[in-house]
Amino acid sequence: MATQWPRMNGGPVPMPTNRTINATGKRFITTALVLALAAGVAGCATDKFTTGSIGRNSGKPLEAMSGGELHTATAALGQSYARNPTDKRIATNYSAALQMDGDADQSLAVMRKLAIALPKDRDVLASYGKALAANGQFEAALDAVRRAQTPEYPDWRLVSAEAAILDQIGQKDDARQLYRKALELKPNEPSVLSNLGMSYVLEGDLRTAETYMRSAAQQPNADSRVRQNLALVVGLQGRFDEAEKIASQELSPEQAQANVAYLRQMLAQQNAWSQLKDQDKPKSATN
């Protein structure tokens, strides 16, 4: 399977377009709340610290890799990690790769071990919070992210990460308040705008979501993940050709086509499900 729009590796997060997505669908189409954490907690203290790509010499981010490429990259990172498990950059990249490769449990184990080794490191606590959230351990994730924050010098990445966790537990109003606080700290930051857009995706307000996504994608420092989320939101509204065009800027033509094909299938299933529910309504009314 090709690499797709961000995958859902954590607990059950409601998707407004289809509440009956199977396990493959959950892996294929992720809410960007896990993405939000990936973008939000990486590099909290330094721009050189990143979970978005493999190594200094690789220009290809994890989320743009095919399934085979991702698996190969994860194995290579695992070898580096085995040689130096307390290296912050290696361990965090390995954890991110494991999570995207579908092994959220091992991803969490890697970050837990690093958090024990570096209990006061803000970057590590933040990434540990991401791994906890991806495993559905939201209260522990909130604790880790909040412990990483310094109230007198708040970090916008951590504010956004906390908001993403709150979104996953249904506290959308508190989440959006924090997203806006993050935007005050870092105006027009594309990852925060994208996260805020995804908050509206979870609510089913795709038009508002697209507004934020487009604003995010238009920023000069927007990355692949942000633009892939825009493609996702456009596709969820049934504008498949446009979604494929956007996705093709980030993925191979085959990957982009595979994404859109899945979206078509998912939305068709959603329509069928809605029709079945509508057919049941008169029966229920007569009972």
Domain 23-274 matching CATH 3.50.50.60: the answer reads: no
CA distance linking residue 169 with residue 83, whole number of Å: 37
Q: Do 97 and 54 meet the contact criterion of CB atoms below 8 Å apart? A: yes
pTM of the model: 0.73
DSSP helix, strand, coil percent of the chain (3-state; round to 5): 70, 0, 30
pLDDT digits (tens, 9 = 90+) for 227-259: 889 999 999 898 999 999 998 887 778 878 887
pLDDT by residue, tens only, the chain of 287 residues: 343 444 332 333 333 333 333 333 333 344 334 444 444 433 333 333 333 444 444 556 776 677 788 888 899 999 999 999 999 999 999 998 998 888 889 999 999 999 999 988 888 888 899 899 888 899 999 999 998 898 898 999 899 989 999 998 989 999 999 999 999 999 999 999 999 999 998 888 999 999 999 999 999 999 888 988 999 999 989 899 999 999 888 777 887 888 788 788 877 776 665 555 565 555 545 45
| CA distance to 107, 115, 124, per residue, from 118 (Å) | 17, 5, 7
Could you state, in order of their start, the residue ranges of all structural domains in the chain? 23-274
Angle at 14 between CA 265 and CA 39, to 5 degrees: 95
The pLDDT mean for the chain works out to 77
Which residues neighbour 287 within 8 Å (Cβ) at sequence distance 6 or greater?
Answer: none
